[in-house]
Amino acid sequence: MMARFDRSRRRWRRAAIAAAAAAGLGGGPPAAAEPDATLDEKGFTLRGEDGLRFELGGRLHVDAGDGGGPRGLDAFPEPVVLRRIRIEPSIAFGDAAVAKLQYEPSSRETAVKDLLVTLRGPLTVTVGHMKEPFSLEALASNNDITFLERALPYAFSTDRNLGIAASGGGEAWTLSAGVFGGNLNDTIDRGGIAGVARATWTPIRREGEVLHLGIAGSWRARDRRGPDLSFASTPESDVFRRSLVDTDAIEGARAVGRLGFEFAYAIGRVRLQAEYMETRVERDGARPLGLRGGYVQASWVLNGRSPDYETTSDVATEVAVFGRVTPDPGQRVSRGGTGVWEVAARLGAIDLDSRDVRGGIETNAALGLNWYPEPFLRVMANYVHAWVRDAAPTGRRAEADIVQARLQVAF
């Protein structure tokens, strides 16, 4: 009888051990999950337990160009330039938070681009050094913009500064607002304080068609200890190293207000995009200045899909921007395809003449050709012709022609 009891006890014990093992409870501690590491066109990704994810990306933009400018102006000191090289690590804690650094070792003045922590909940809250939510083209990554450089009104952009921002959105709208100080690289304690807000609305958003409308505003009270305020722009080229419009230092500037309007309409493979910006400079002992600029551009993807319209971002605030053209798997050159081709045209203008400040008026016409052989690779070519009145530094009329190309690697 005891023998039958022992056999029965052993059978129950084996059954209990098997059940516990199946549940991950018995036989000692459960085996640790192996980290999941991938290396592909999106960079290096390491996934751990509980949604922990480490990503390492980067970008490399190499430009080459030449052309002609005003007589006696050495605008092309180097025919080939390293436009940017960036290292971009980030750590995500599930869907709740992400910390990101974007570092550019080739830049002495602005080496730190992004340095931020984003927390997600009913609102997306970001603290750190990041882009202020202003301008459709400024918020888009330079990996994704249609032309080599952003349009002339980018001279009014708020760009990156240290601050805190909150945002929210839905399928058809986004709203972002924040308070910002100075730039982490040089004016962290001397930039003054700015309030910035941006709202977008997408009344049409369906397969193959998107209508985007946006408005953004910024007001910055300047610190008297801060650097001089000025606005300048090259003719949409970094190889062309001289600004043809330039206000020089604006005396007594105590506050800067910006207002921007955005429009984009994408249907099928065609996208139209336009922005208009007004900038007001309040001055001590003088009447305010009114500066302005805008652009309109069109692009056509010849043999592929148009870029996606994105209303969320893990970089900082929730924004609404267009991404980059991406070839389908069968179109990739590495898989026997020919890549995707895109053509574009743009007309841009900026007016830096106001009252006693004569910074110049410039109009640019640009043509672009882009080739996307792989998701992480792009080859670009631009032609720009610029007409300038009150050109810097002569104050006369001037013209310039630029032909420029870029090899872009981004992952």
Closest CA to 183 of 140, 229, 114, 129: 129
- Distance between CA atoms of 385 and 207, rounded to whole angstroms? 36
What pLDDT score was predicted for residue 313? 54
Average pLDDT of the segment spanning 312-338: 84
Which of 229, 255, 230, 253 is CA-nearest to residue 243?
Answer: 230
Q: Are 43 and 32 in contact (CB under 8 A)?
A: no
- Domain chopping of the chain, boundaries: 132-410
- The percent of residues in the chain predicted with pLDDT above 70, rounded, is 90
Residue percentage of the chain with pLDDT more than 90: 72
Over range 262-282, report the average pLDDT. Answer: 98
Dist CA 218 CA 223 (whole Å)? 16
Given a cut of 80, whether residue 58 has pLDDT beyond it is yes
Cβ 192 vs Cβ 223: under 8 Å: yes
Task: Specify the pLDDT at position 318.
Answer: 64
From 4-18, 119-133, 201-215, the region with the lowest mean pLDDT = 4-18
Q: What is the mean pLDDT of residues 19-41?
A: 57
Reported as a single tens digit per residue, the pLDDT across 181-194 is 999 888 787 879 99
H/E element holding 389?
strand 377-389
CATH, domain 132-410, list 2.70.50.60, 2.40.160.10, 3.40.190.10, 2.60.40.10: 2.40.160.10
Cis amide bond preceding 288, omega within 30: no
State mean pLDDT over 147-172.
93
Range with lowest mean pLDDT among 109-118, 169-178, 252-261, 307-316: 307-316
Consecutive H or E run containing 115: strand 112-120
pLDDT at 21 over 50: no
The rounded distance, in Å, linking the Cα atoms of 167 and 126 is 9
Q: Is residue 108 helix, strand or coil?
A: coil
DSSP, collapsed to helix, strand or coil, labels residue 155 as helix
pTM of the model: 0.88
Residue 18 has pLDDT above 80, yes or no: no
Residue 258 has pLDDT above 50, yes or no: yes
Flag whether pLDDT at 144 surpasses 70.
Answer: yes
Tokens found for residue 394: 């002569």
Q: What is the mean pLDDT of residues 232-245?
A: 93
Task: Say yes or no to pLDDT of 13 above 50.
Answer: no
pLDDT greater than 70 at residue 11: no
Given a cut of 60, whether residue 9 has pLDDT beyond it is no
Average pLDDT, the chain: 88
